[in-house]
Amino acid sequence: MAYGSQALSSNASFDPFWWRAAPREEAAPGVPPRETDVAIVGSGMTGLVAALHLARGGRKVTVLEAREPGHGASTRNAGYVGRTLKHSFGEIMEAEGLDQAKRVYGELMDAFMAVKEAVEREKIDCHYRQQGRLLLATSSAMHEAMAREFALREMHLGEPFETVTRDLQRNEIATDHYFGGVRIPDHAGLHPGLYHQGLLEAARTAGVQVCAHAPVLGFRREPRGFTVFLKGARVEARDLIFATNGYGGSAWPWLMRRLLPFQAYQAVTAPLGENRVASLLPGDRTFIDWNFNVDWMRRAPGDPTRIVFGGLTGEIDADLRVMAERLQQRLLRIFPDLSDLRFDHVWTGRCSGTFDINPRIGVQDGVHFAGGYCFAGVPMGTLFGQKLARRILGQKGGESVFDRPLETRFLYRGNAWFVPHAIRWMSRKDR
């Protein structure tokens, strides 16, 4: 289809590139059972990991998904698997002390390991690779700040890093746009579509029923559990989990008032040729800058002839052709010689944050939830899915440093109109 855009190839698609290797299921609406032990709302990574562990723990589990399985951010992300949080180790250390900083970053390590373990245990063929991450500085002051932060992490957490100076960065990425960076050798990358597909298959094999096109409209607490309301149906469940992250809505107003949804955008180039991609990204890392509002890129997992590029977080534009042009301009700032650049896929997905920019896991009025991961949902969703299951199964290991009160703000009802403005303000601060 021709879109008449300078950024898009003639047959461009607005579906995630990942759906090529992991096609969406044309599932008919699922018929939910009248009764289940655990009802889980949302079939992203968080919901599926929780479902898998609960089923293996002997529970009858029903996943209720508004659209097709994996409709949300879990099949739309960049597949970066790291140990990242918007609050730096140094910042937490200063505000809350060294022990707390170690606890928080210790849990990020657990989350990082949870993905590796899930991929190995479930034998998920999703191009998981500890290829290393290069964090890039957009000023020399930022480069110095990064070096300080990672020196702290090395000292207190024993996590190795290497400083990459500006004159050596071309060994990693063929640009002078950045001011050097920091390489974290063990960070990983995967193909999100295939990771999600592997979790879905594992959950079904364990006996989980995944009901597609079954939007949850609301629920009522009962003396011995919950009644979950769907269009024309209801499910009695002993336990209830909300794993809706940025896609949640009025089904649970309490959560809607506490999570801040925002959009992020991603594109995949038309084939550039393996050699050209290798010459642009010789390091073959996952690349990301260290701004609050990040740009990121990597060689496409499973297709080394293409580059995946993302950014423009928090921007709202319903027209993905416009976003494609804006992504193209951002990529051309990094690689000015790529003037023939066209995208084959451009898409968006919804993340969520919290008012204090920390992810959360918790229970409110008997309902379990996890979310607010910002850009760390691949590891955090995997870990929190497990923790949600452990909590319901009464097993050890369900506790979390991110289980803290989840606050809202006066008059906030779930319309996070101010998030784009806040992100733009942070981008100005970045500059």
Determine which residue in the list 197, 371, 388, 392 makes contact with ligand FAD, applying CB under 6 A.
371
- Whole-angstrom distance, CA of residue 122 vs CA of residue 227: 32
Q: Is beta strand 216-222 parallel, antiparallel or unpaired with respect to 225-230? A: antiparallel
64 contributes a contact to ligand FAD by CB under 6 A: yes
Determine which residue in the list 24, 56, 60, 67 makes contact with ligand FAD, applying CB under 6 A.
67
349 contributes a contact to ligand FAD by CB under 6 A: yes
- Whole-angstrom distance, CA of residue 147 vs CA of residue 153: 10
74 contributes a contact to ligand FAD by CB under 6 A: yes
Build a one-symbol-per-residue string for 309-348: x at contacts with ligand FAD by CB under 6 A, - elsewhere: -x--------------------------------------
C-beta of 324 vs 376, nearer to ligand FAD = 376
Q: Which residues pair with 163 in a beta bridge?
A: 182
304 contributes a contact to ligand FAD by CB under 6 A: no
Determine which residue in the list 180, 225, 248, 301 makes contact with ligand FAD, applying CB under 6 A.
248
Q: Which of residues 108-137 bind ligand FAD (CB under 6 A)?
A: none
8 contributes a contact to ligand FAD by CB under 6 A: no
C-beta of 89 vs 384, nearer to ligand FAD = 384
**In degrees, to the nearest 5, what angle opens at C-alpha 346 toward C-alphas 341 and 348?**
145
41 contributes a contact to ligand FAD by CB under 6 A: yes
291 contributes a contact to ligand FAD by CB under 6 A: no
- Angle at which helix 45-56 crosses helix 192-205, to 10 degrees, equals 30
- Report long-range pairs for 373-376 (Cβ below 8 Å, ≥24 apart): 373/245, 374/86, 375/77, 375/80, 375/84, 375/264, 375/294, 375/313, 375/351, 376/82, 376/84, 376/85, 376/108, 376/111
Residue with tokens 């024993």, as numbered in its chain? 158
Part of the chain binding ligand FAD (CB under 6 A), chosen from 62-70, 98-106, 164-172, 221-229: 62-70
Number of residues that bind ligand FAD (CB under 6 A): 43
Determine which residue in the list 89, 247, 287, 402 makes contact with ligand FAD, applying CB under 6 A.
247
**Min CB(373)–ligand FAD separation in Å:** 4
72 contributes a contact to ligand FAD by CB under 6 A: yes
354 contributes a contact to ligand FAD by CB under 6 A: no
Residue 368 near residue 40, CB atoms below 8 Å? no
- Whole-angstrom distance, CA of residue 103 vs CA of residue 81: 19
C-beta of 341 vs 388, nearer to ligand FAD = 388
The three state secondary structure string of 26-77 is: CCCCCCCCCEEEEEEECCCHHHHHHHHHHHHCCCCEEEECCCCCCCCHHHCC
Residue among 86, 82, 85 at smallest CA distance from 109: 82
257 contributes a contact to ligand FAD by CB under 6 A: no
Interface contacts to ligand FAD, rule CB under 6 A: 41-47, 64-67, 71-74, 76-80, 215-216, 243-249, 251, 264, 266, 310, 349, 351, 371, 373, 375-379, 381
